[in-house]
Chain A
Amino acid sequence: MPRPATFEEYLASLVPPSVRGLDRRTLLTGGIGLGALTLAGCGDGGGSSSTTSASSASGSASGGSSTAATGTVTLGSNQSDAVPKAAIQSVMDAFQKANSGLTVKINTVDHNTFQENINNYLQGSPDDVFTWFAGYRMRFFASQGLAGDISDVWTGVQGLNDALKKSSTGDDGKQYFMPSTYYPWAIFYRKSLWKDKGYEIPKTLDDLKALGAKMKADGLDPIAFGDKDGWPAMGTFDQINLRVNGYDFHVNLMAGKEDWAGDKVKKVFETWRDILPLHQADSLGRTWQEAAQSLQQKKSGMYLLGMFVAQQFEKGAEQDDLDFFTFPEIDSAIGADAIEAPIDGYMMAANPKNEAGAKALLGFAGSAQAQGLAVASDPSVIATNSGVDTAGYTALQKKAVEFVASAKSIAQFMDRDTRPDFASTVMIPAIQDFIKNPADIDNLVKNIQAQKVSIFGS
Chain B
Amino acid sequence: MARYKGINQLSGLDRIVVALMIVVPTVLVVWLVWLPAISSVLLSFTNWNGIGPIGQAKWMGLKNYHDVVTIYPPFWPAVRHNLIWLAVTFLVSTPLGMFLAVLLDKEMRASRVYQTAFYLPVVLSLALVGFIWQLLYSRDQGLINGLTGSKIDWYGDPKYNLWAALVAACWRHTGYIMLLYLAGLKGVDVSLREAARVDGASEKQTFFKIVFPVLAPINIIVLVVSVIEALRAFDLVWVINKGRNGLELIATLVTQNIVGEASRIGFGSALATFMLLISSVFIAIYLRIVMKEQR
- B139 cross-chain contacts in A, Cβ below 8 A: 282, 285-286
Across the interface, B71 reaches (CB within 8 A) one of A145, A285, A447, namely A447
A58 beta carbon closer than 8 Å to chain B: no
Q: How many angstroms between the C-alpha atoms of A391 and B161 in the bound complex?
A: 50
CB pair A421–B264 under 8 Å, yes or no, is yes
In the bound complex, CA of A150 to CA of B289 (Å): 63
Cβ-defined contact, A424 with B260, below 8 A: yes
Q: In the complex, A145 Cα to B242 Cα: how many Å?
A: 30
- Bound: A447/B73 CA distance, A: 8
A452 to chain B: closest residue by CB = B71
Interface of chain A: mostly helix, strand, loop or mixed: helix
Number of B positions contacting A (CB below 8 A): 32
Q: Say whether A436 faces chain B, with CB atoms less than 8 Å apart.
A: yes
- Name the A residues within 8 Å of B71 (CB-CB): 447, 450-451, 454
Are B155 and A420 within 8 A (Cβ)? Answer: no
User: Residues of A contacting B72 with CB < 8 Å?
Assistant: 451
Q: Does B52 sit within 8 A of A, measured CB to CB? A: yes
Contact present for A116 and B244 (CB under 8 Å):
no
Are B259 and A116 in contact (CB-based, < 8 A)?
A: yes
Chain B contacts of A137 at CB under 8 A?
A: 261
Whether A284 contacts B156 in the complex (CB less than 8 A), given A119-B261, A429-B73, comes out as yes
Report B-chain residues with C-beta under 8 Å of the C-beta of A230.
242, 244
Which chain B residues numbered 50 to 86 have a C-beta less than 8 Å away from chain A?
50-52, 63, 67, 70-74
Q: Which residue of B lies closest to A449 (CB)?
A: B71
- Indicate if B205 sits at the interface (CB-CB under 8 A): no
Contact partners of B241 in chain A: CB under 8 A = 228, 284-285
Of residues A119, A145, A450, which shows the largest number of chain B Cβ atoms within 10 Å of its Cβ?
A119
Query: Is B115 among interface residues, defined by CB-CB distance under 8 A?
Result: no
Interchain CB contact under 8 A, A282 and B51: no
Please judge, given known A-B contacts A119-B51, A447-B71, A454-B71, whether A425 and B244 are in contact too, CB under 8 Å. no
Cα distance, A447 to B74, chains bound together (Å) = 11
Measured CB to CB, the closest approach of chain A to B153, in angstroms, equals 4
Residue of A123, A425, A436, A450 near B245 (CB, 8 A) is: A436
* Residue of A290, A429, A454, A455 touching B74 (CB-CB under 8 A): A429
In the complex, residue of chain A having the shortest beta-carbon distance to the beta carbon of B261: A420
Separation of A285 and B244 alpha carbons in the complex (Å): 10
Counting chain A CB atoms within 10 Å of each CB, the highest count among B257, B260, B267 belongs to B260
Q: Which of A283-320 touch B at CB < 8 Å?
A: 284-286, 290
Contact digits for A136-176, partner B, Cβ 8 Å, 1 yes 0 no: 01000000111000000000000000000000000000000
Are B264 and A425 in contact, with the CB atoms below 8 A?
Answer: yes
A81 within 8 A of B: no
* A112 (CB) vs chain B CBs: closest residue: B242
For A, the interface residue count at a CB cutoff of 8 angstroms equals 34
| Residues of chain A from 86 to 141 with CB closer than 8 A to chain B in the complex | 115-120, 123, 137
Q: Which residues does chain A contribute within 8 Å of B267, judged by CB atoms?
A: 425
Within 172-224 of A, Cβ neighbours of B (below 8 Å) are at none
Q: CA of A229 to CA of B157 in the docked complex: distance in angstroms?
A: 14
Query: What is the chain B residue whose CB lies nearest that of A457?
Result: B47
Q: Is A11 an interface residue (CB 8 A)?
A: no
Our count of residue pairs bridging A and B at CB distance below 8 angstroms stands at: 87
Name the distance in Å between B236's Cβ and chain A's nearest Cβ. Answer: 16
Residues of B within 8 A of A69 (CB): none
CA distance A137 to B260 in the complex (A): 14
Give bound CA distance, A115 to B263, whole Å: 12
Residue from the list A290, A425, A436, A450 in contact with B262, Cβ < 8 A: A425
Contact of B51 among A146, A284, A450, A451 (CB under 8 A): A146
Residues of B within 8 A of A119 (CB): 50-51, 261, 263
State whether B155 touches A421 (Cβ < 8 A). no
Q: How far is the CB of A286 from chain B (nearest CB, A)?
A: 7
A305–B256 Cα distance when bound, in Å, is 25
B73, B156, B257, B263: which contacts A433 (Cβ < 8 A)?
Answer: B73
Interface check B158, CB cutoff 8 A: yes
Say whether B261 contacts A424, CB under 8 Å: yes
Q: A432-B244, A451-B72 are in contact. Are A285 and B263 (CB under 8 A)?
A: no
Which residues of chain B (237-267) have a CB below 8 Å from chain A? Answer: 241-242, 244-245, 256-257, 259-264, 267
**A contact residues around B140 at 8 Å (CB):** 290
Across the interface, name the chain A residue whose C-beta is closest to B262.
A421
Minimum CB–CB distance for A138 against chain B, Å: 13
Which B residues lie within 8 Å of A425 (CB)? Answer: 256-257, 260, 262, 264, 267
Q: Which residue of B lies closest to A145 (CB)?
A: B52
Q: Which residue of B lies closest to A290 (CB)?
A: B140
**Complex Cα–Cα for A57 and B206 (A):** 88
Q: State whether A436 touches B73 (Cβ < 8 A).
A: no
**A-chain residues with CB within 8 Å of residue B73 when the two chains form the complex:** 429-430, 433, 447
A interface with B by C-beta (< 8 Å): 115-120, 123, 137, 144-146, 228-230, 282, 284-286, 290, 420-421, 424-425, 428-430, 432-433, 436, 447, 450-451, 454-455
B positions within 8 Å CB-CB of A: 49-52, 63, 67, 70-74, 139-140, 153, 155-158, 161, 241-242, 244-245, 256-257, 259-264, 267
The 9 residue pairs across chains A and B that have the minimum distance between CB atoms: A285-B156, A421-B262, A450-B71, A285-B153, A282-B153, A116-B260, A420-B261, A424-B262, A284-B245
Other A-B contacts than A285-B157, A430-B73, A447-B73, 4 sampled, CB-CB below 8 A, are A119-B261, A286-B139, A421-B49, A429-B74
> What are 23 A-B pairs at a CB distance below 8 A?
A116-B259, A117-B259, A119-B51, A119-B261, A144-B51, A144-B52, A229-B242, A230-B242, A282-B156, A282-B157, A285-B155, A286-B139, A420-B261, A421-B262, A421-B263, A421-B264, A424-B261, A429-B74, A430-B73, A433-B73, A447-B73, A451-B71, A455-B264
